């Protein structure tokens, strides 16, 4: 049930009936005394018509029909309308995502590491944020096409292949990919002849030299298996089927250039093929080129993204293409989208969006590094998270309190909490800003953290264990009574709205904030409303609200890609 759009429609219909025009601008109320929702659009509509906003607000309240939906409407401040929902209306809310009325085909481009190295902390954000949005879209019935646009075709492979050819025990040395890469890079940086041979190797590779391709494939396989093991540990929904390597566009690059040419978009500049678009001017007002082919014939990152869009729009028939990529690539995507539009590769019916994210910082406010200044490997970060969670569980004496939790269950719990904490700390921050990585904060059981929400979920479950009531025997809907119950029920009823918003805007932190608020309301309810000691009717009602809360918490955390435990 989409409460916000329903209320907006009704209010906007009242605008029309009163000869006004405008948007209802509906928001969740910021304080309980303002009701559940607040319409902020009256002031603007009244102003445009030269009328008194408070009088207009009252006229709308008199005209509007919200029978069975709202129990109270009132004018507030300079002309807000405060809306309190009717208990029987709230009661009908669903606790799992409902299919969208307008299902779309959405390509979600995420993770996309450059291969031949292991994934490091810099890959975390683009991997987990994209994965969360893909899950949310899918839960709403959209067809999601996940695309892992890995960098598997760049100049680094010339270097690696040339270095490999010099090794005696080539396959042994590949076991430590990181080390292999470092050695090759050192050779490359210090030896001109090696550098020249590396560049030749790229040309051979890209022109399809069979021997080269066999060796290249080895790198890709080792590298991708590293990635896959991280995806599995992080519970990221990516597999071989979602691979969208740059290499897969190799044959299409020249067609892409031909296509740009046929549209009259290419200009030669210093031997390179460029697209000049008026919207890309430098500060002196000169139009800056988007280079699509270098003077030596080589293609660029932008060229493969254009070829890639031909596939996504032409073959995949995408309605939306969402790119979860570092904010530092903002100009790149602006250029790619603009060239694609000019060339007819995309069109106005397809929505192309770069959903940028900021950098994860260390406590020194600089990009997160080891003490030696190296980038932290993602696998090591996750190991540390689990080790810290395990220590935390020992400190909390979880096994003393629950003697039947054995060591295996405790270890599983440490993993759920540790990995959940790392993911949640990231997902709960506004993705467009940088954030400081802080172990103590993310592993705290207080505040907007994964352990807090996981614990809140397990508490809803333990209430059932203690009640002896089978959750599946409860009614689907109950009508709440009293403020704490009502506030909890209102939050549950707002879940669908929230998911629609996340699907549209691509900000997982909105889902986190929602779940955190829900858990807070549950705590208040739990403190103020006795459950197990109440008589049957009240107990059933409160247990049902408890179950609904648990269902939403579990569903929301699952959409964030975070696991829950029945007890902790």
Interacting residues toward ligand ARG by CB under 6 A: 109, 112-114, 149, 151, 305, 308, 323, 325
Minimum CB separation from ligand ARG for residue 173, in Å? 24
Distance CA 77, CA 35 (A): 13
Minimum CB separation from ligand ARG for residue 292, in Å? 14
Minimum CB separation from ligand ARG for residue 354, in Å? 9
Distance CA 65, CA 445 (A): 45
Between 109 and 500, CB nearer to ligand ARG: 109
**CB-count burial class (<10 Å; 0-12, 13-18, 19+) for 537:** exposed
Between 92 and 330, CB nearer to ligand ARG: 330
Distance CA 63, CA 59 (A): 6
Contacts 24+ apart (CB under 8 A), 405-412: 405/567, 412/565
Minimum CB separation from ligand ARG for residue 149, in Å? 4
Between 138 and 305, CB nearer to ligand ARG: 305
Tokens (6 digits) for 332: 């790149």
Minimum CB separation from ligand ARG for residue 103, in Å? 24
> Nearest to residue 518, comparing CAs of 564, 555, 563, 549?
549
Between 87 and 122, CB nearer to ligand ARG: 122
Q: In angstroms, how far is the first alpha carbon of the chain from the final one? A: 33
Between 36 and 246, CB nearer to ligand ARG: 246
83, 73 Cβ separation under 8 angstroms: yes
Please identify the residue of the shown chain whose CB is closest to the bound ligand ARG: 112
Between 20 and 325, CB nearer to ligand ARG: 325
Q: Which residues of 186-208 are buried (b: 16+ CB within 10 A; e: fewer)?
A: ebbeeeeebbebbbebbeebbee
Minimum CB separation from ligand ARG for residue 375, in Å? 13
Minimum CB separation from ligand ARG for residue 374, in Å? 18
Distance CA 90, CA 94 (A): 9
Question: What residue spans of 330-449 are helical by DSSP H?
Answer: 330-342, 378-395, 398-401, 407-427, 439-442
Between 165 and 374, CB nearer to ligand ARG: 374
Q: Which residues of 134-162 are buried (b: 16+ CB within 10 A; e: fewer)?
A: bbbbbbbebebbbbbbbbbbbebbbbbbb
């Amino acid at each position: 049930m989409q409460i916000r759009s329903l209320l907006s429609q009704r209010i906007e219909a009242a605008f029309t009936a009163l000869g006004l025009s405008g948007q209802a601008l509906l928001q969740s109320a910021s304080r309980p005394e303002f009701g559940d929702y607040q319409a902020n659009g009256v002031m603007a509509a009244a102003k445009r018509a030269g009328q008194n906003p408070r009088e207009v607000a009252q006229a709308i309240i008199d005209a509007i029909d919200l029978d069975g939906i709202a129990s109270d409407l009132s004018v507030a401040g300079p002309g807000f309308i405060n809306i309190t929902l009717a208990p029987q209306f709230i009661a009908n809310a669903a606790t799992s995502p409902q299919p969208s009325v307008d299902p779309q085909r959405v390509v979600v481009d995420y993770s996309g590491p450059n291969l031949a190295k292991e994934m490091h902390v810099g890959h975390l954000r683009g991997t987990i944020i994209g994965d969360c949005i893909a899950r949310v879209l899918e839960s709403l019935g959209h067809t999601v096409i996940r695309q892992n646009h890995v960098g598997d075709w760049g100049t680094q492979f010339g270097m690696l292949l040339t270095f490999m050819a010099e090794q005696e025990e080539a396959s042994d040395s590949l076991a430590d990919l990181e080390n292999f890469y470092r050695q090759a890079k050192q050779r490359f940086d210090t030896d001109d002849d090696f550098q020249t041979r590396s560049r030749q190797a790229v040309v051979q590779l890209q022109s399809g030299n069979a021997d080269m391709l066999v060796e290249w494939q080895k790198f890709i396989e080792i590298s991708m298996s590293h990635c896959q093991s991280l995806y599995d540990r992080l519970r990221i929904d990516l597999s071989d089927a979602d691979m969208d390597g740059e290499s897969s566009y190799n044959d299409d690059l020249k067609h892409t250039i031909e296509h740009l040419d046929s549209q009259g978009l290419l200009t030669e500049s210093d031997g390179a093929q460029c697209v000049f678009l008026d919207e890309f001017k430098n500060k002196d007002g000169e139009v800056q080129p988007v280079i699509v082919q270098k003077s030596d014939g080589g293609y660029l990152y932008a060229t493969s993204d254009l070829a890639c869009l031909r596939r996504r729009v032409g073959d995949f028939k995408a309605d939306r293409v969402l790119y979860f990529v570092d904010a530092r690539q903002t100009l790149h995507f602006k250029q790619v989208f603009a060239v694609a539009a000019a060339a007819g590769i995309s069109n106005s019916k397809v929505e192309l969006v770069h959903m940028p994210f900021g950098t994860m910082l260390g406590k020194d406010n600089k990009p997160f590094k080891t003490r030696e200044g190296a980038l932290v490997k993602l696998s090591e970060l996750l190991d540390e998270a689990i080790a810290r969670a395990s220590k935390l569980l020992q400190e909390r004496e979880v096994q003393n309190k629950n003697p039947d939790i054995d060591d295996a269950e405790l270890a599983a719990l440490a993993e759920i909490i540790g990995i959940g904490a790392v993911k949640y700390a990231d997902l709960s921050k506004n993705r467009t800003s940088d954030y400081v990585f802080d172990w103590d904060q993310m592993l705290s059981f207080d505040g907007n953290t994964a352990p807090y929400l996981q614990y809140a979920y397990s508490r809803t479950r333990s209430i059932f264990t203690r009640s002896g009531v089978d959750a599946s025997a409860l009614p689907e809907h109950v009508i709440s009574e009293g403020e704490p119950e009502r506030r909890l029920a209102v939050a549950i009823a707002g879940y669908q709205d929230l998911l629609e918003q996340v699907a549209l805007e691509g900000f997982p932190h909105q889902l986190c904030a929602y779940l955190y608020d829900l858990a807070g309301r549950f705590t208040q309810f739990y403190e103020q409303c006795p459950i197990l000691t109440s008589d049957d009717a009240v107990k059933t009602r409160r247990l049902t609200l408890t179950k609904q809360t648990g269902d939403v918490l579990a569903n929301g955390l699952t959409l964030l890609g975070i696991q829950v435990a029945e007890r902790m």
